């Protein structure tokens, strides 16, 4: 056959005859870096009408997926799935390195098709469903780490919601104490920071640190890290022949990043997730990473729904992503957060932040045709008379009854509290469920 999709399905069924015995696999419905997902129904129901059949999503994991990672994903689905809007697993089949998870199928559309189309009530129901799922996952001490629209499936007609894809989920690891600031005690021993930095080119890295003792990596990652640490320590203590060597941080003297800091080993921290949904603590490589990583991503999804913009953040790398956050939340807020996480962010200019309400109002307004020759702002890509970047934006605090861009004030206040840059004060899923935007719901 010259249909590559049919060919793929055929190959899978040959490798996994058990799957073929039970299921009819119809077509591919999803594809990521780590899996392909197919629509299937039961062979014994092949005589039934389409509407009578039970439908399944078959997730075929790439054979290179680490066994410990696969085991963890399966364990998450098994322990937490099947309730509170979290996908469950019906069956797992394996033959050598071919592994599939069989899950109930939920019809859904692409987020981009409904992002600008949901009214306040529908947005509240959607956010409530997402936060119910997150509260459930978090109660197990698990961080999903890849909360985003394509992992939260929404059956709009039947008002059903499913959080899927635990391929990056991690257990919460208690944060190690941060080292004292370098200029106080430069010889202080650094705590061991775990590294799950992606190799170049990889979309994401899936390494569950808590699973490491059971894994069988040919070269233990921890050993690689240790070697690296020793080397950098040695280098740091070796004076360069005769040259004056800074022995402590001098950033404040030069108003930038000093030579001493330039030579410090880069911080390392988990950064698994998807661009555009990473919170400040991940972008800042802080070890303070907990379930608040997920509620930030929920905040990004809410911001998308309020402004009818997807993707909401577009930066291609972590440093630009931080700059983008400074644009939205203000540079002072980002710098404060960084300081409380033991990091320092040096920005070339200061930004006051953009009021989410004004942004929603502006972005939801029908586009005004810009006169020809109107310069387009290179930052926000809006015609310059409408550009938000040039004017400093003062936070507008409306009263509780005010409706902006079709949404009550409470919707913006929830978004702001989920997009709190400091992970320690960010709203948890449980707290968010008690927010007026969601408790005022009468469904």
User: Measured from the CB atom, is 32 or 342 closer to Mg ion?
Assistant: 32
Which one of ligand ADP, Mg ion, none interacts with residue 57, CB within 5 to 8 A by kind? ligand ADP
**Cβ of residue 204: shortest distance to ligand ADP, in angstroms?**
9
> At which residue do the structure tokens 């968010």 appear?
432
Residues that bind Mg ion (CB under 5 A): 32, 151, 165
User: Measured from the CB atom, is 55 or 344 closer to ligand ADP?
Assistant: 55
User: Measured from the CB atom, is 88 or 352 closer to ligand ADP?
Assistant: 88
**Cβ of residue 274: shortest distance to ligand ADP, in angstroms?**
9
User: Measured from the CB atom, is 59 or 285 closer to ligand ADP?
Assistant: 59
Judge whether 306 and 412 are in contact, CB under 8 Å: yes
**Cβ of residue 308: shortest distance to ligand ADP, in angstroms?**
21
The answer to whether the annotation marks 59 as part of a ligand binding site is yes
CA distance 382 to 207: 40
Of 310, 319, 321, nearest to 346 by C-alpha is: 319
Length of the chain: 443
Which one of Mg ion, ligand ADP, none interacts with residue 331, CB within 5 to 8 A by kind? none
CA distance 388 to 303: 16
Whether 146 sits among the annotated catalytic residues: the reply is yes
Q: How far is CA 415 from the centre of its chain?
A: 16
Which one of ligand ADP, Mg ion, none interacts with residue 103, CB within 5 to 8 A by kind? ligand ADP
Contacts of 41 (CB under 8 A, 6+ apart): 23, 24, 26, 53, 54, 55, 56
Q: At what angle do helices 120-138 and 409-418 cross, to 10 degrees?
A: 30
73 — alpha (psi -120 to 50), left (phi > 0) or beta? alpha
**Cβ of residue 31: shortest distance to ligand ADP, in angstroms?**
7
User: Measured from the CB atom, is 73 or 194 closer to ligand ADP?
Assistant: 73
Residues that bind ligand ADP (CB under 6 A): 29-30, 32, 34-35, 37, 57, 59, 87, 103-106, 150-151, 153, 164-165, 167
Contacts of 193 (CB under 8 A, 6+ apart): 176, 267, 268, 269, 285, 287
**Cβ of residue 162: shortest distance to ligand ADP, in angstroms?**
6
Which one of ligand ADP, Mg ion, none interacts with residue 29, CB within 5 to 8 A by kind? ligand ADP
**Cβ of residue 332: shortest distance to ligand ADP, in angstroms?**
36
Strand partners, 55: 41
Which one of ligand ADP, Mg ion, none interacts with residue 59, CB within 5 to 8 A by kind? ligand ADP
**Which of the residues 2, 3, 119, 146 is marked catalytic?**
146
Q: What DSSP string describes 376-440?
A: BPTTT-SBGGG-SSSSPPPPP---TT-EETTEEHHHHHHHHHHT-S-TTTSPPHHHHHTSHHHHT
User: Measured from the CB atom, is 164 or 359 closer to ligand ADP?
Assistant: 164
Q: At what angle do helices 356-364 and 409-418 cross, to 10 degrees?
A: 120
Task: Give SS3 for 132.
Answer: helix
Annotated binding-site members: 59
- Give the residue numbers marked as catalytic: 146
Annotated binding-site ranges for ATP: 59
């Amino acid at each position: 056959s010259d249909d590559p999709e049919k060919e793929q399905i055929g190959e899978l069924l040959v490798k996994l005859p058990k799957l073929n015995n039970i299921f009819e696999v119809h077509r591919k419905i999803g594809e990521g870096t780590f899996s392909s997902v197919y629509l299937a129904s039961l062979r014994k129901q092949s005589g039934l009408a389409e509407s009578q059949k039970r439908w399944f999503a078959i997730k075929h994991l790439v054979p290179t997926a680490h066994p410990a990672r696969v085991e963890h994903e399966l364990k998450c689905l098994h322990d937490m799935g099947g309730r509170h809007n979290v996908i469950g697993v019906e069956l797992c089949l394996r033959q050598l390195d071919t592994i599939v998870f069989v899950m109930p199928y939920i019809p859904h559309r692409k987020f981009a098709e409904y992002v600008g189309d949901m009214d306040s009530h529908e947005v509240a129901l959607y956010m409530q469903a997402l936060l119910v799922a997150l509260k459930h996952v978090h109660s197990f001490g698990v961080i999903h780490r890849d909360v985003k629209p394509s992992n939260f499936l929404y059956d709009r007609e039947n008002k059903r919601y499913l959080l899927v894809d635990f391929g990056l989920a991690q257990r919460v690891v208690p944060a190690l104490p941060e080292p004292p600031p370098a200029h106080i005690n430069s010889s202080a021993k650094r705590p061991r920071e775990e590294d799950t930095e992606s190799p170049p080119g990889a979309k994401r890295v899936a390494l569950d640190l808590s699973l490491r003792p059971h894994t069988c990596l040919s070269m233990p990652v921890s050993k690689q890290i240790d070697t690296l640490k020793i080397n950098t320590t040695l280098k740091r203590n070796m004076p360069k022949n005769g040259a004056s060597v800074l022995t402590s941080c001098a950033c404040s003297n030069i108003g930038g990043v000093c030579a001493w800091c330039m030579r410090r080993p880069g911080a390392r921290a988990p950064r698994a997730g998807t661009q555009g949904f990473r919170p400040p603590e991940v972008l800042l490589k802080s070890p303070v990473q907990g379930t608040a990583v997920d509620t930030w991503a929920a905040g990004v999804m809410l911001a998308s729904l309020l402004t009818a913009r997807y993707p909401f953040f577009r930066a291609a790398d972590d440093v630009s992503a931080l700059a983008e956050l400074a644009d939205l939340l203000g540079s002072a807020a980002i710098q404060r957060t960084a300081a409380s996480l033991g990091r320092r962010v040096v920005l070339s200019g200061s930004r006051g932040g953009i009021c989410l309400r004004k942004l929603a109002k502006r972005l939801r307004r029908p586009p005004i045709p810009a006169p020809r020759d109107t310069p387009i702002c290179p930052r926000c890509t809006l015609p310059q008379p409408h550009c938000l970047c040039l004017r400093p934006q003062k936070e507008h605090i409306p009263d509780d009854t005010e409706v902006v861009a079709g949404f009550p004030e409470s919707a913006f206040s929830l978004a702001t509290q989920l997009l709190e840059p400091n992970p320690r004060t960010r709203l948890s899923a449980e707290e968010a469920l008690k927010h007026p935007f969601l408790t005022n719901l009468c469904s």
